[in-house]
């Protein structure tokens, strides 16, 4: 089985995010970057499918700048066989990025395309379903359980208060949600081997954005309120305030 996993380089979730001088972008200086956490589930899922099948290949692919090589190497160190860097900048919305990825995928052989459900920088939750639509293949998003038997994919996806079971035939797209698996850490040996694995570079140019950021704003300000009191004795006063002041109960 040939699997391609689309991955993205994003700031670590601990990062403090501030707007840049232009007011319309985020200042990425000094931030620590990591492999998008949801993409770790996708890479792990791909490796497990390959291991279970006993043959096949796992290719990781990203649209990004030179610095994204580091992210590709992380996935190679986890165990992916080869990497593709599509050189260019991702778009503000998902569509431009999806178009670049779909364009690159069109010329390649694959059975399964794996994604993370969401990139934790833009939080778009768009690219996997868009790539599926552009390629005309079926797709399951927010997947917490995945089975592939022959050509048939059975994926369990999270919905409000429950799950949906999605079934389709390969080739197709699956976007991983937390819970799909427990991603492995790259071993020392894996890290050494990753340096020697093939990393292909293709210049694809910047993705076209269909949305434009007018302004990056701070979240609605939130300051410390009041400590109503200590222990159970403070409860009646709390309830009074929730009722009369905040009017929420």
Partner 1 sequence: MSVLAFAEQRAGAVRDAALETLTVGRQLADALGVELVAVLVGPPGLAVEAGKLGSYGADRVLTGLADAFAEYSPEGYTELVAKAAREKAAKAVVFAASAQGKDLAPRVAARLKAGLASDVTQVGIEDGRVVAVRPAYAGKVFLRLAFKSAPAMLSVRPRAYKAAEAPRDAQVEELTVDAGAAARTKVQTAAEEKRERPDVAEAEIIVAGGRGLGGPESWKLLEGLADALGPGAGLGASRAVVDAGWRPHSEQVGQTGKVVAPPLYFAIGVSGAIQHLAGMQTAGCIVAVNKDAEAPIFKIADYGVVGDLFEIVPRLTEEIRKARSQP
Ligand X SMILES: Nc1ncnc2c1ncn2[C@@H]1O[C@H](COP(=O)(O)O)[C@@H](O)[C@H]1O
Ligand Y SMILES: Cc1cc2nc3c(=O)[nH]c(=O)nc-3n(C[C@H](O)[C@H](O)[C@H](O)COP(=O)(O)OP(=O)(O)OC[C@H]3O[C@@H](n4cnc5c(N)ncnc54)[C@H](O)[C@@H]3O)c2cc1C
Which residue in 37, 65, 103, 190 binds ligand Y (CB under 6 A)? Answer: 37
Helix (H, G, I), strand (E, B) or coil at 141: strand
Which positions ≥6 away from 22 have C-beta within 8 Å? Answer: none
> Which 64-93 positions form the footprint of ligand X (CB under 6 A)?
64, 90
Regarding 105 and contact with partner 1 (CB under 8 A), the answer is no
Helix (H) or strand (E) holding 84: strand 82-87
Site for ligand Y in 5-24 (CB under 6 A): 13
Answer for the pair 212, 92: CB distance below 8 angstroms, yes or no: yes
Q: How many residues comprise the chain?
A: 249
Q: Which does 115 bind (CB under 5 to 8 A by kind): ligand Y, partner 1, ligand X, none?
A: ligand X
Kindly give, in sequence order, each residue whose CB lies less than 8 Å from that of residue 78, ignoring residues fewer than 6 positions away: 40, 43, 44, 47, 183, 184, 185, 186, 190
- 188 vs 218, beta carbon nearer partner 1: 218
Choice between 90 and 186, CB closer to ligand X? 90
Least Cβ distance, residue 158 to partner 1 (angstroms): 6
φ, ψ of residue 133 to 5 degrees: the values are -65, -45
Site membership for ligand X, residue 143 (CB under 6 A): no
Closest separation in Å from C-beta 48 to partner 1: 19
Q: Which residue has the tokens 């222990």?
A: 231
Tokens 């089975």, residue?
147
- Closest to partner 1 by CB, 203 vs 230, is 230
**Cα radius of gyration (the chain):** 21
- Applying CB under 6 A, the residues found at the interface with ligand X are 6-8, 36, 38-39, 42, 62-64, 90, 94, 97, 101, 115-116, 118-119, 122, 124-128
Binding site for ligand Y (CB under 6 A): 13, 37
């Amino acid at each position: 089985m040939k699997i391609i996993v689309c991955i993205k380089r994003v700031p670590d979730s601990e990062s403090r995010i501030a707007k840049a001088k232009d007011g319309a972008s985020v200042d990425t200086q000094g931030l620590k970057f990591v492999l998008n956490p949801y993409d770790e589930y996708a890479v792990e899922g791909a490796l497990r499918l390959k291991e279970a099948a006993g043959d096949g290949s796992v290719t990781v692919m990203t649209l990004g700048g030179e610095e994204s090589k580091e992210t590709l190497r992380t996935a190679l160190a986890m165990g992916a066989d080869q990497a593709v860097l599509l050189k260019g900048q991702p778009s503000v919305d998902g569509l431009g990025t999806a178009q670049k990825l779909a364009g690159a995928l069109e010329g390649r052989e694959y059975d399964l395309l794996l994604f993370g459900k969401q990139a934790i920088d833009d939080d778009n939750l768009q690219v996997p379903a868009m790539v599926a639509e552009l390629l005309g293949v079926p797709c399951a998003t927010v997947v917490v359980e995945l089975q592939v038997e022959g050509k048939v994919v059975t994926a369990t996806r999270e919905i409000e208060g429950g799950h949906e079971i999605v079934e389709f035939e390969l080739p197709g797209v699956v976007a991983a949600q937390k819970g799909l698996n427990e991603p492995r850490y790259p071993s020392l040996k894996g890290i050494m081997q990753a340096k020697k694995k093939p990393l292909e570079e293709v210049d694809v140019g910047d993705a076209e954005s269909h949305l434009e950021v007018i302004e990056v704003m701070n979240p609605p300000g939130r300051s410390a309120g009041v400590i109503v009191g200590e222990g159970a004795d403070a409860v009646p006063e709390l309830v009074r305030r929730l009722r009369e002041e905040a009017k929420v109960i």
